[in-house]
Structure 1
Amino acid sequence: MGVEPKQLHVVFFPFMAHGHMIPTLDIARMFVAHEGVKTTIITTPRNAPTFTKAIEKTIKSGASSINIELFNFPAQEAGLPEGCENLEQALGPGTMDKFFKAAAMLRNQLEQFLEKTRPNCLVADMFFTWSTDSAAKFNIPRLVFHGHSFFALCALEIIRVYEPYNNVSTDMEPFILPLLPHEIELTRSQLAPDLWKYKESEYKKRNFAIKESELKRFGVIVNSFYELEPEYADFYRQKLGRRAWHIGPVSLYNRNIEEKIQRGKQVSIDEHECLKWFNSKKFNSVIYICFGSTIHMIPPQLQEIAMGLEASGKDFIWVVKNDDDLGGFEDRIKGKGLIIRGWAPQILILEHDAVGAFMTHCGWNSTLEAISNGVPMITWPMFAEQFYNEKFVTQILRIGVPVGAKRYTTAPSLEDVVNQHDIEKALREIMEGNTADGRRYRAKEFKKLARKALEEGGSSSSDLSALINELRCLST
């Protein structure tokens, strides 16, 4: 008789934002699919619903349990309104710093929990930089989850160490990122202003703390797969000397319709209505437009998108915020377009045969979900590492067309508005002609590789097994 594997307890501590919580839940479910692994997800009361439905489903499927541990979020102590527990509620310039301050106040609760439960591993979000020291107090290995690609991790580190933005005299003058396997150019306008404008800033301090804690931690979990970015997986591990395991694309772990619909918030459209609309459309004919959960478009920009869509004549599905005013646009495009207000079942949409392209803000979750479903992209980055992801999609993978966004901004103004002609041009370029066919062919090849990576013996499946085995060895 074989020896039963020792029970392994892995604790996940995602940052309180949907772009961080959703992939963390997928990863926790991937861990518990391995025999003898149990997991706990730490979150706050108002963020718990993101996890509970999916967890009930996992338990019904017969997998080991995923437990939820609730921490009180000290919103008011940090100067935030009561009930403000998610980054999406705190996107203003001053408010965001208060939110990070409140998140740092969770340290005591984490240490009490670790002391009491003594798990075998803590997988903590990159923003919880202090958690490395907290875990070390109890001799618990800490893994970092960034939610970035290998390419973005490499680019961010090269920029931090070499500061190539100091070699140019204007914000629009391009500079090259040294040492990377490809020649990648950026401009200062595409970087966070706090990075290059000021000697000291909260952003710089946070960045430095993230890198410091990354160097002291046990390793890094990356939501990517080796075949997508082999040169950057090697560069990160060999040239930058980081220990890392690629275990993605984690979204592909959602296999049935129910799992795909329950991912994230309550969807704002009936899936049958959505699929019925799609089924009336031709193969590869629809453009899906969605800018993620933290981006707000100003009214003049919404109008330019609407006019660009009308002028292009393409069928589309567009996800907007509940309070976005589109004028009479919705009445004019009946049959041609579908407007979803609120949260959309993104994976369900991207995997539909009718979808021919995705206009995206280039958040890594959305980007990888498009890659996993073989969908070319119109890239429209705004902030965070989105400009790096645009370079990766358009220049390295060559499966995207940039819309022409020039400036890093968390609060778009009139000078950031992309006009309807540039939008229409990008819509046509992604959908028409031989180069569009070439992009689509490459995207479909990456889709095949993504699925293969998660199969038994595939690169991501093997990396996850190797990580779990290493954690088991450490715990004996």
Structure 2
Amino acid sequence: MAQLVNPHVAVFAFPFSTHAAPLLTIINRLASSSPKTMFSFFSTAQSNNSIFCTSQSTPPNIKAYNVDDGVPEGYVFVGKPQEDIELFMRVAPQNFSKGIEMAVEDSGRKLSCLITDAFFWFAKEMALENGVPWLPFYTAAACSLSSHVYTDLLRETYGVGGTVGREDETLNFIPGMSNVRIRDLPEGIVFGNLESFFSKLLHKMGQVLPEATAVFINSFEELDPDITTDLKSKCKQYLNVGPFILATQPPSVPDSHGCLAWLDKQKPATVAYISFGSIAVPPPNELVALAEALEASQVPFIWSLRDKLKVHLPNGFLDKANGIIVPWAPQTDVLAHGAVGVFITHGGWNSLVESIAGGVPMIFRPFFGDHRVNGRMVEVVWEIGVIVESGVLTKDGIISGLDLVLAQEKGKKMRENLWEIKRVAQTSVGAKGSSTENFNKLLALVCGQN
């Protein structure tokens, strides 16, 4: 195979939510596998400082570059949804272009490949202009990727805003999505504000991703075989290269609040771990309901809750309940601990993958984006968790969910399903597994092999 002498890959990270960290994880792996390839990694200063400061050792052929966050000097935020994302995205094409020029000058190497977060649909044109492959990374699951790729067909089928009264119809005409209902779709596809900046971004993304050289995701083919087959027919190349958490050893993180030592004192598969990620925040009444359910059930728990939100909890809650509240927890290690029996979560893809790796059933409280469709797959297709009754946290709903997962036969079956899914996932990242084969295909594209 012919290979470029000095490959130079530009990497564009989306600096919000938990997009940049998993992208850096796969770039670290690519960089370690191809030490002669230079990777210029672009994100905002805040994002880079956050993801590069972990103990994750960065190979020497990765160089971080900061791009502007797009917030004008003296700008006052007005509280519009995704305001920070819109400001960033409006100037991102120009800022990334300037960044590439700087990296090319610094390294003395012409650009040979462009890897970006899938949200950066405009990167297709940048790659064409530079005559290089475009490899977008979709950070969520195959089911949500499929819903975005099919946005135009969904709108033709249901009309814009024409889903009232049809919310429970299933998407039988989309391969692998026959158990997904209209109500489970991400906002901005057929309901919600279809004219918002973010909805238009996702729509454009769904239209252009099939034109990319290859689309890759942090999953494994065997989890969604029908969706995988379909997306392979839609995209030039569609590569499942995960789960990252099983393919590479996650970086060790400090357990500064003693979560693991506390878990060591608990009985196996009895503890509820609670975390709603870095963005989603349950309203105060739901925090109260969750606290009351934990107190009433006496299920031992670790609750990752920011200090400023503790004010909403009932007086004396921690004195009566059987658990600890911490501002931050080493989630991967917590979910891998044998004492943890259930994960109460918002249902983001990264958390879901970590739960699979730990073999822990989930109780979903979905908020936005891919949470609902992930929850539907977890509950109905993979049968490894449940969505909380009525989709919001209520005292009775949480008590019922905890009992189901921790004490009933159905919960035991969920754990068995999880261990089987984890076994298949481990095989996929093994020496001859599908994800390893797909990673090698991705590596060949990155190194300029043809």
* TM-score, length-scaled by structure 2: 0.88
Are 2:324 and 1:332 aligned? no
Match of 1:303 in 2: 288
The counterpart of 1:320, out of the listed 291, 299, 305, is 305
Aligned residue identity for 2:314: G
Partners in 2 of 1:80 and 1:9 — Cα distance?
38
Q: Secondary structure at the match of 1:448?
A: helix
Q: Secondary structure at the match of 1:76?
A: coil
Aligned residue identity for 1:349: V
Are 2:13 and 1:14 aligned? yes
Are 2:347 and 1:348 aligned? no
Answer yes or no: is the 8 Å Cα contact 1:26–1:251 preserved in 2: no
Answer yes or no: is the 8 Å Cα contact 1:171–1:187 preserved in 2: no
Match of 1:396 in 2: 381
Deviation at 1:254, TM superposition (A): 5.3
Alpha-carbon deviations, 1:195-227, whole Å to 9, x = none? Answer: 435674434422222123313322211110122
Partners in 2 of 1:340 and 1:142 — Cα distance?
41
Alpha-carbon deviations, 1:1-51, whole Å to 9, x = none? Answer: x99984433322111124101111111111112033332211122222223
Partners in 2 of 1:361 and 1:459 — Cα distance?
29
Aligned residue identity for 2:44: T
Aligned residue identity for 1:53: C
Q: Tell me the number of residue pairs that the alignment of Structure 1 and Structure 2 aligns.
A: 438
Match of 2:63 in 1: 67
Answer yes or no: is the 8 Å Cα contact 1:75–1:102 preserved in 2: yes
Partners in 2 of 1:351 and 1:321 — Cα distance?
22
The counterpart of 1:419, out of the listed 388, 391, 394, is 394
Stretches of structure 2 that go unaligned for 5 or more consecutive residues are: 105-109
Deviation at 1:276, TM superposition (A): 1.0
The counterpart of 2:238, out of the listed 218, 226, 244, is 244
Answer yes or no: is the 8 Å Cα contact 2:70–2:90 preserved in 1: no
Aligned residue identity for 1:247: V
Answer yes or no: is the 8 Å Cα contact 1:14–1:21 preserved in 2: yes
Partners in 2 of 1:349 and 1:173 — Cα distance?
36
Distance verdict in 2 for CA 1:35–1:426, change over 3 Å: same
1:37-436 mapped onto 2 (5 Å cutoff): 37-54=37-54, 57-59=56-58, 63-76=59-72, 79=75, 92=79, 94-115=80-101, 117=104, 118-163=110-155, 164-166=157-159, 170=164, 173-177=167-171, 178-181=173-176, 183-188=178-183, 191-192=186-187, 195-196=190-191, 200-238=195-233, 240-253=234-247, 255=249, 259-261=251-253, 270=256, 273-324=258-309, 325=311, 326-333=313-320, 336-341=322-327, 343-406=328-391, 417-436=392-411
Partners in 2 of 1:383 and 1:203 — Cα distance?
13
RMSD: 2.8
Aligned residue identity for 1:431: L
Partners in 2 of 1:235 and 1:456 — Cα distance?
25
Partners in 2 of 1:440 and 1:125 — Cα distance?
33
Distance verdict in 2 for CA 1:102–1:397, change over 3 Å: same
Partners in 1 of 2:65 and 2:315 — Cα distance?
46
How many percent of aligned residue pairs carry the same amino acid?
Answer: 24
Distance verdict in 2 for CA 1:279–1:210, change over 3 Å: same
Answer yes or no: is the 8 Å Cα contact 2:10–2:100 preserved in 1: no
Deviates more, 1:36-45 or 1:376-385: 36-45
Partners in 2 of 1:3 and 1:98 — Cα distance?
43
* TM-score, length-scaled by structure 1: 0.84
Partners in 2 of 1:46 and 1:40 — Cα distance?
17
Distance verdict in 2 for CA 1:252–1:206, change over 3 Å: same
Answer yes or no: is the 8 Å Cα contact 1:120–1:140 preserved in 2: yes
Partners in 1 of 2:397 and 2:435 — Cα distance?
38
Distance verdict in 2 for CA 1:190–1:460, change over 3 Å: closer
Aligned residue identity for 2:440: S
Q: Secondary structure at the match of 2:421?
A: helix
Deviates more, 1:125-134 or 1:465-474: 465-474
Alpha-carbon deviations, 1:275-312, whole Å to 9, x = none? Answer: 11000011111111111110112211100001111222
Q: Secondary structure at the match of 2:9?
A: strand
Aligned residue identity for 1:453: S
Stretches of structure 1 that go unaligned for 5 or more consecutive residues are: 82-89, 262-266, 407-416
Aligned residue identity for 1:270: S
Deviates more, 1:461-470 or 1:179-188: 179-188
